[in-house]
Amino acid sequence: MDLEEARLGLSKHQQTFGVDYSTADFTPTLCGLWGLRPPTQSLGRAITAVQELGHSCFGAAGQLEKALVFCPDAIGDVLWEDYPGDFAPLTANSEVRIKCSTVMPSVTPVCFASIFSGAPPEIHGIQAYSKPVLTVETLFDVAAEAGKQVAIVSSNNCSIDKIFRDRKVDYFSLRNAEMSFEFTKLLLRNSDYDLIISYDGSYDSSLHKTGGRSGESLQAMRTSIARFVELAGLSDAIWGGFNRLLTFTPDHGGHDNPETGRGGHGTDVYDDMVVNHFYRLRQAQPKH
């Protein structure tokens, strides 16, 4: 596919839903903060507001040193709009909210492949709900090339667990989201990774079973927000001596099917396609 045509594929969704950014902008943004080149096939662009915050926070010559990317599955912009009180702790613990469109089809392997490669589906190759190992370059390849130590923490056989294999990455696959979260905290306390990906599939799992606005699903949403806030405090305590970043990075949203009472995603509608990415940056504290 022609690269310009592929790039237009990303901007088309932005225009359709009236947003300025794509989820594919995530990886070039992190690469910019780290002073790394973007993946070869990346067509995303570094987000100016985040880059400016990085320069302000780290100083003109400073760069990102540690990053924790928290990935709650299926938490879309419609939830942020409808439950602002629940998202208040997330807003209070981040500086920048980026409203962005995801890619089609809006399913987990397709979306996270674009988030971590910067490439649209036509380029990275996953264009349906399947979980092959990506062959295009990703954030993880570029980070490892630069000597960064990378860990991916996720649930057994989920998309993130499978599509980013065969790289210079340590993979930790747990039985459920709660165990993955607890293991993420264990890694923070007892290891020295530069980049940690922590996947949380709690809300998505409940969405498919009981609908996106069920009591169970809303509690799962609140739990993901609380986990982010907990990671904010923990990363500040443990990574205080480093320029650091914590993000809240969902892949897609979701919608309810009134006939079944259950939720789903994968369509080209606002509820599925628009998400918010939150960025929290902190400067290294001087050593005494």
Q: What's the pTM value of the predicted model, to 2 decimals?
A: 0.96
Domain contains 110: yes
The residues, any chain, with a CB within 8 Å of residue 69's CB and separated by 6 or more, are 30, 195, 196, 197, 198, 247, 249
Number of independent structural domains in the chain: 1
- Residue 288 has a pLDDT of 58
Q: Are 153 and 178 contacting, i.e. CB atoms less than 8 angstroms apart?
A: no
Instruction: Indicate whether 287 belongs to any domain.
Output: no
Q: Beta 244-248 vs 274-282: how paired, if at all? A: antiparallel
What single DSSP character describes residue 41?
T
Owning domain of residue 35: 3-282
Distance CA 213, CA 248 (A): 20
Q: Are 220 and 202 in contact (CB under 8 A)?
A: yes
- Tell me if 246 is assigned to some domain: yes
Q: Is 121 exposed, middle or buried (0-12, 13-18, 19+ CB in 10 A)?
A: buried
- The reply to whether 288 falls in a domain is no
pLDDT tens across 180-202, in order? 999 999 999 999 999 999 999 99
* 127-164: pLDDT as tens digits: 999 999 999 999 999 999 999 999 999 999 999 999 99
Query: How far apart are alpha carbons 29 and 169 in whole angstroms?
Result: 20
Per the omega criterion (within 30 degrees of 0), is the bond before 105 cis? Answer: yes
3 state SS of 162: helix
> What's the CATH number where 60 sits?
3.40.720.10
Residue pair 14/101 in contact (Cβ under 8 Å)? The answer is yes
What are the φ/ψ torsions at residue 155 (nearest 5 degrees)?
-90, 150
pLDDT of the residue at 184: 99
At 1 the pLDDT is: 59
276 domain residue, yes or no: yes
8 Å CB contact between 183 and 56:
no
Q: Are 30 and 146 spatial neighbours (Cβ–Cβ below 8 Å)?
A: no
| Mean pLDDT computed over every residue of the chain | 96
- Is 85 inside any structural domain? yes
Q: Report the C-alpha gap between 165 and 134 in whole angstroms.
A: 8
Listed as ranges, residues in the chain with pLDDT below 50 are: none
